[in-house]
Amino acid sequence: MLRKRALTRRIAIDDVGEHNRRMWERLAEAGIPYTRPLGRPPRDARGKRRFLDELTRGRLRGIDLDGKRVLSLAGGGGWDAVLFAELGATTTLFDISRRQLATVRALARDRGTKLRFVHGDMRDLSAFEDGEFDIVKHHHSLVFVPDAKRVIGEVARILAADGVYVFSTMHPVALRMQETWTGTGWGFKQRYFDDGPIPFEDALWEFGSVKVEARTVEYGHRTSDLVNACAKNGLVVDGLWEYSPSYEGGEPGSADELERWLPAYLEIRARRAGKRGGGVRRSTRRTATGSR
């Protein structure tokens, strides 16, 4: 798999969101694997749960979903939201791409599955009330925003007491090393301690015969910053994983080969600590695109 590539110039936060939204619409239109459901889950509940646990790498294994309130954050295009709902959870799907929301809406309609759909930027979850969700499953998307701490703060607000938040992002070390192959090894294109988007030259996403130019803006959020943002917002980290989708490697200098030596992804699971005090704040702005 070839990695996504980012712009080199620094741009305003609002421009980052709008730019990456347009890139994801382009990728969804091309139908790359990240933007559409892959595989087919079994029809029985046990098989569906097994399929979901494989998709979520077992991070929610053992948690009963029946009656839970689940937010699939930036989960457009995949099976997760549909399976959460079919396993008994009241489920909301939130994504910045309308096309990816439409993909899951069509899938849910065909299966007779009830979902709520909300369009928006993950940095603004004002469509939701305090403590509205028991589980927030967040796909590999923090890499596309400059302010991951703000996202984590928003999730902590909408997470109920003892609720679970699972999120993943590109690993901040491997991401800084892509495109730096010298013929004998890799270097760094940005210091680990530097902020700002990581510069990339190659804008090509390639999956078999599907090739799409989509120059996304990406940020390598430091592990300590993510963990400390959880702690600051009352989230207790009870799991942290570093992994690659495959350890078989590839051609010298390729992303696959780099990810044989270093993890491609960083994933964190955290729980909302303590009891939530006060009443529930109702948002003054809602951006739901509708539910079925």
The per-residue pLDDT for range 72-128, each reduced to its tens digit, is 999 988 899 999 999 999 999 999 999 999 999 999 999 999 999 999 999 999 999
Domain boundaries, the chain: 44-198+219-291
pLDDT digits (tens, 9 = 90+) for 190-215: 999 999 999 988 888 888 888 899 89
- What is the rounded distance in angstroms from the CA atom of residue 224 to the CA atom of residue 229? 8
Which CATH architecture does the domain made up of 44-198+219-291 adopt? 3-Layer(aba) Sandwich (3.40)
Beta carbons within 10 angstroms of residue 85's beta carbon: 22
Q: 98-111 and 13-30 helices cross at what angle (nearest 10)? A: 50
Q: What is the overall mean pLDDT for the chain? A: 89
Of all helices (H) and strands (E), which one includes residue 118?
Answer: strand 116-119
